[in-house]
Chain A
Amino acid sequence: MIQEKYRVLPGPEGFVPVTAALMGAVLPDAGGAFVEGGIVPETDALGLIAEKLANAKRPAICPGPLLMWQWNDAVAPKAAAVRELAGACGAKIYPMPDYRSKSPRINPEIEISVNHPNITILHNDIDVCLFAGVHSHYANFALRMIRGGTSCYTICLSDYAASDEAMISLRDIDAAKIAAITTKIKSSTGRS
């Protein structure tokens, strides 16, 4: 039986979205990035992320606990770089402060929940969302749900290994890589 290579693309994929890793998606080693199910050089992916964010109608950035609460020297410049990125592409920030469930529901105007991310995506008509600082287990299971239930284009900036459930994902993210995306957006849009 010949199977076409599975591509991680915007949904809605359906009732139970597939698991990219089980469909053969393999994560990149250092220097590589994950793009729609394949591996490309990281420098190419930086440009693709800039292009997606710059051309989005309603881009969103979802910072997670590793960006909001982490306690190490690297996190402050990384958080500042994400904030500058949001400004460059006009993205609204929807924090994912932790992974607890909220009852009766979250407020989709101001936040995103890992357990039902589609409420925020659909309520705000977000067409491109970027996760940063979300632990990869939670990032992956939320990104899979977004792919299952929405047409949002997903991007994930990962601290260690990349995310195979996002359409584009970088690994070993640091402030310099985030700043490189911002620079590309600014140069393509003419904003300073």
Chain B
Amino acid sequence: MSITHTNSNAAGTASCPKQKAVSPEELLLNATRSRAFMTGSEAVAEAVRRAGVDMAIAYPITPQSESMHLTGDLYAQGYIKDYYRAENEFAVMAAVHGASLGGGRVFTATSGPGTLRAMEMFPVWAGSRQPIVCAFMCRGVALPPSIQPENIEMAFLLDTGMIMLHAENAQDFFDFILAGYAIAEQPEVHIPVGVFADGFFVTHTREVIMLPPDDIKLDEYNPDIAPIPPFDTEHAPIRMVRDPLLNKCNFVSYAASASWHQEVLAAAERARKHINKYMGGLIEVENPDADIMIVASGTAVSQSREAIRTMAERDGIRIGLVKVKSVRPFPAAEIAQATAHASAIIIPEFNAGGWLARDIMGTIDNNSRVIAEPRVFGGMSMPEEIIIEVVKKAKGIK
């Protein structure tokens, strides 16, 4: 079963460009890639171009807007079967849920306050086991108002049940979106994937990325292999939600509800082997034998790389790096192993809450080794100097 609707956009002229459908292995791992120079937002559109998306729904918000404008262009060019602008972010997330329940491969994106406005739908996506891929271009969320980069919104999504992948740069953003579909659509996984990038730093910065050819795309999604039945959303009466458990106040209905919740968490765990396959692991480690290890995700990784390079070249200090690519499922064992020998574990973050440090402190032995700084937010940048300062303090160097 699949969406067979043809694109009848306003121009009425778009026909789907010829693209050969290939396996995720071919698209992500084997295809010859060529250089391109583009922003993270453009990289998102290039991923969608190759993802075989049936339907995309948009509502604009900075810094997400450009990516969904470009996705709209893909609709006009015939790459996407259906596309529209919804009333607001909640409507977007509810509508992509419906399209996914009906068996379509869907895409959307949002940012900061848009994420929070749509919040109710994220655990609904996970609870109904839909393989929706959503890009989050992270930014400040509340008073004092800020459209600037920070990733506090990720803290609010940690326990929604979705898989959370954190891109360091435009290359990751492109790769993780495509890998997101490959992972999400595994029968034993089949839950949503959020692909996160720090707004502006990634979305609005041009960089070199390597792209597979645009005449290939992911194989069509087959909802018949899902762990739940797809819905017939074209013939009345249309069903909009999964069968509820018996809503009685008794132990059996509570136990069934609890077991359902457990199944969503299990689905994320089962994603681990597919993340290893399509993304080369939940983490990446550099200088694994260094006495001091920096553990970071997103653009904090790039800033840490600069600090590590400067300290090696200028000061002769060797520092290790753990790049966290998968935030959910959380790579607790991998981080514990990579940092087991370290005397200090430095965790730089672009948010006020320190969600990554909290997760790591809750899962490693001897967590007094964790130095949960530097931490910047409200749109501040993270110059390498403030990371170096923390490292030198940890080493007792003035």
- Taking the complex as formed, is B31 at the interface, i.e. its CB lies under 8 A from any CB of chain A? no
Chain A residues contacting B265 (CB-CB under 8 Å) are 19, 21-22
- Taking the complex as formed, is B236 at the interface, i.e. its CB lies under 8 A from any CB of chain A? no
Contact B229 A65 (CB under 8 A): yes
- Taking the complex as formed, is B123 at the interface, i.e. its CB lies under 8 A from any CB of chain A? no
Contact A101 B244 (CB under 8 A): yes
Contact A115 B270 (CB under 8 A): no
Kindly report which residue of chain B lies nearest to residue A163, judged by CB atoms.
B188
Chain A residues 5 to 41 lying within 8 A of chain B, measured CB to CB, are 16-17, 19-22, 26-27
* Complex: A96 Cα to B138 Cα, angstroms: 44
* Complex: A26 Cα to B333 Cα, angstroms: 15
Chain A residues 136 to 186 lying within 8 A of chain B, measured CB to CB, are 136-138, 140-142, 144-145, 148-149, 159-162, 164-165
Chain A residues 95 to 137 lying within 8 A of chain B, measured CB to CB, are 98-101, 103, 114-116, 118-119, 135-137
Name the one of A17, A22, A145, A162 contacting B269, with C-beta atoms under 8 angstroms.
A22
Tell me the interface secondary structure of chain A in the complex. Answer: loop
Given contacts A20-B266, A22-B269, contact A115 B253 (CB under 8 A): yes
Contact B255 A136 (CB under 8 A): no
* Complex: A99 Cα to B245 Cα, angstroms: 9
Given contacts A19-B266, A22-B266, A135-B229, contact A141 B260 (CB under 8 A): yes
* Complex: A144 Cα to B252 Cα, angstroms: 13
Kindly report which residue of chain B lies nearest to residue A66, judged by CB atoms.
B229
Contact B187 A136 (CB under 8 A): yes
- Taking the complex as formed, is B263 at the interface, i.e. its CB lies under 8 A from any CB of chain A? yes
Tally of contacts, chain A with chain B, CB under 8 A? 88
Contact B227 A136 (CB under 8 A): yes
Contact B263 A137 (CB under 8 A): yes
Contact A101 B245 (CB under 8 A): yes
Contact A160 B187 (CB under 8 A): yes
Contact A141 B243 (CB under 8 A): no
Chain A residues contacting B129 (CB-CB under 8 Å) are 137
Contact B252 A116 (CB under 8 A): yes
Contact A145 B256 (CB under 8 A): yes
Kindly report which residue of chain A lies nearest to residue B190, judged by CB atoms.
A137
- Taking the complex as formed, is B226 at the interface, i.e. its CB lies under 8 A from any CB of chain A? yes
Kindly report which residue of chain B lies nearest to residue A136, judged by CB atoms.
B227
Chain B residues contacting A19 (CB-CB under 8 Å) are 262-263, 265-266, 269
Contact B259 A160 (CB under 8 A): no
Chain B residues 190 to 214 lying within 8 A of chain A, measured CB to CB, are 190
Chain B residues contacting A26 (CB-CB under 8 Å) are 273
- Taking the complex as formed, is B246 at the interface, i.e. its CB lies under 8 A from any CB of chain A? yes
Chain B count of residues within 8 A CB distance of the other chain: 30
Chain A residues contacting B312 (CB-CB under 8 Å) are none
* Complex: A118 Cα to B251 Cα, angstroms: 12
Chain B residues contacting A159 (CB-CB under 8 Å) are 225
Given contacts A115-B256, A137-B227, A160-B225, contact A144 B263 (CB under 8 A): yes
Chain B residues contacting A101 (CB-CB under 8 Å) are 243-246
Kindly report which residue of chain B lies nearest to residue A160, judged by CB atoms.
B187
Bits for B341-364, please: 1 = Cβ < 8 Å to A, else 0. 000000000000000000000000
- Taking the complex as formed, is B186 at the interface, i.e. its CB lies under 8 A from any CB of chain A? yes
Contact A116 B266 (CB under 8 A): no
Bits for B210-227, please: 1 = Cβ < 8 Å to A, else 0. 000000000000000111
Name the one of A100, A148, A161 contacting B188, with C-beta atoms under 8 angstroms.
A161
Q: How far is the CB of A18 from chain B (nearest CB, A)?
A: 8
Contact A161 B252 (CB under 8 A): no
Bits for B227-270, please: 1 = Cβ < 8 Å to A, else 0. 11100000000000011111000001101101110110111011
Q: How far is the CB of A67 from chain B (nearest CB, A)?
A: 13
Kindly report which residue of chain B lies nearest to residue A138, judged by CB atoms.
B228
Name the one of A17, A116, A164 contacting B256, with C-beta atoms under 8 angstroms.
A116
* Complex: A140 Cα to B259 Cα, angstroms: 8
Chain B residues contacting A115 (CB-CB under 8 Å) are 245-246, 252-253, 256
Q: How far is the CB of A157 from chain B (nearest CB, A)?
A: 14
* Complex: A13 Cα to B276 Cα, angstroms: 32
Chain B residues contacting A162 (CB-CB under 8 Å) are 188
Chain A residues contacting B242 (CB-CB under 8 Å) are 99
Given contacts A101-B243, A135-B228, contact A148 B270 (CB under 8 A): no
* Complex: A16 Cα to B228 Cα, angstroms: 23
Most chain A C-beta atoms within 10 Å of own C-beta, residue among B190, B225, B226, B255: B255
Q: How far is the CB of A113 from chain B (nearest CB, A)?
A: 9
* Complex: A19 Cα to B259 Cα, angstroms: 8
- What are 28 A-B pairs at a CB distance below 8 A? A17-B259, A19-B263, A21-B266, A21-B269, A22-B262, A27-B270, A101-B244, A101-B246, A115-B245, A115-B253, A116-B255, A116-B256, A135-B226, A137-B190, A138-B227, A140-B266, A141-B259, A141-B260, A141-B263, A142-B259, A144-B259, A144-B262, A144-B263, A145-B256, A148-B255, A159-B225, A160-B187, A162-B188
14 further interface pairs, Cβ-Cβ under 8 Å (given A103-B246, A138-B228, A140-B266): A21-B267, A98-B243, A115-B252, A116-B246, A116-B252, A136-B188, A140-B227, A141-B256, A141-B259, A144-B262, A145-B259, A161-B270, A164-B266, A165-B266
